[in-house]
């Protein structure tokens, strides 16, 4: 029997937890719930859920801190932030800290369900027939194990970032257009990401894999990006 995917809901409003639990279980997912940030982080680290739905305004530890600590621990579990905070600066901060998506309340359940489906699909390793990684002696990326090492240091890379790296490294020295990245990284129509968020994701990834002497992602203004490393 196929194992059911498990979603951790970290939310302090019980009515929202009840709605999410009911609808996710109806879709065939198992759920766990936490009503404050400290318990949410502990469950995320101990239970290794397949996806986390994370509120920002939580007791004891806010959602930004939960996400940061999760990534600092090297966990790449997909995280969808669900919050009433609509400011662009909050969305950028959440994505900078490693969240994979950002949904504002009130949300429509069909949209939430689709975003959960897409996030879980992105977080699942690809078939072994696909290209598996990149290694130039300084940067090593394993797209099956979802591990990344730079100069001996283990990196915290999100599922979105791994997918971005997979696309870029598969065509070294070639311009990969922003449109193609939107299609490859999210759904085929690019419905779940905007152009600005793609820029934030690329910049965040650069800060992780590059240093003063190693540059891997070159921007081609008005077009897209080039992977400047060697072929995998």
Is 60 exceeded by the pLDDT of residue 230?
Answer: no
Report the CATH number that the domain containing residue 148 is assigned in CATH.
1.10.10.10
pLDDT at 31: 95
More confident residue, 194 or 199: 199
Is 60 exceeded by the pLDDT of residue 194?
Answer: yes
Total domains present in the chain: 2
Report pLDDT digits (tens) over 96-150: 888 888 888 888 898 889 889 888 876 554 444 444 688 888 888 888 778 888 8
Q: Is residue 128 part of a domain?
A: no
pLDDT band at 29 (very low <50, low <70, confident <90, very high): very high
Q: Which residues constitute the domain of residue 67?
A: 6-122
One domain for residues 87 and 149: no
Is 60 exceeded by the pLDDT of residue 12?
Answer: yes
pLDDT at 225: 93
One domain for residues 144 and 195: yes
- Write the DSSP string, the chain: -PPPPEEEEE-S-HHHHHHHHHHHHHTT-EEEEESSHHHHHHHHHHH--SEEEE-SS-SSS-HHHHHHHHHHTT----EEEEES---HHHHHHHHHTT-SEEEESS--HHHHHHHHHHHHHHTSPPPTTS--EEE-SSEEEETTTTEEEETTEEP---HHHHHHHHHHHTSTTSEEEHHHHHHHHS-TT-TT--HHHHHHHHHHHHHHH--SS---EEEETTTEEEE-S---
One domain for residues 90 and 150: no
Q: Is residue 28 part of a domain?
A: yes
One domain for residues 152 and 192: yes
Q: Is residue 127 part of a domain?
A: no
Which domain-ending residue is among 122, 152, 167? 122
Which domain-ending residue is among 57, 90, 122? 122
Report the CATH number that the domain containing residue 73 is assigned in CATH.
3.40.50.2300
Q: Is residue 45 part of a domain?
A: yes
């Amino acid at each position: 029997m196929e194992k059911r995917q498990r979603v951790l809901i970290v939310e302090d409003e019980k009515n929202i937890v009840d709605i999410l639990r009911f609808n996710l279980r109806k879709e065939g997912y198992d759920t766990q719930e936490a009503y404050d940030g400290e318990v949410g982080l502990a469950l995320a680290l101990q239970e290794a859920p397949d996806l986390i739905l994370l509120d920002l305004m939580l007791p004891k530890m806010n959602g930004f801190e939960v996400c940061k600590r999760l990534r600092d621990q090297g966990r790449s579990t997909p995280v969808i932030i669900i919050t009433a905070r609509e400011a662009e600066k909050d969305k950028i901060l959440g994505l900078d800290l490693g969240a994979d998506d950002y949904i504002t309340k009130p949300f429509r359940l069909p949209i939430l369900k689709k975003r959960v489906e897409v996030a879980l699909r992105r977080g699942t390793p690809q078939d072994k027939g696909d290209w598996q990684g990149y290694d130039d002696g300084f940067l090593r990326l394993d797209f099956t194990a979802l591990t990344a090492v730079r100069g001996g240091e283990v990196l915290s890379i999100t599922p979105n970032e791994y997918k971005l790296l997979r696309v870029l490294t598969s065509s070294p020295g070639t311009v990969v257009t922003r449109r193609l990245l939107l299609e490859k990284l999210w759904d085929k129509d690019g419905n779940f990401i905007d152009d600005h968020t793609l820029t934030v994701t690329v910049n965040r990834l650069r800060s992780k894999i590059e240093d003063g002497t190693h540059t891997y992602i070159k921007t081609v203004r008005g077009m897209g990006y080039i992977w400047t490393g060697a072929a995998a």
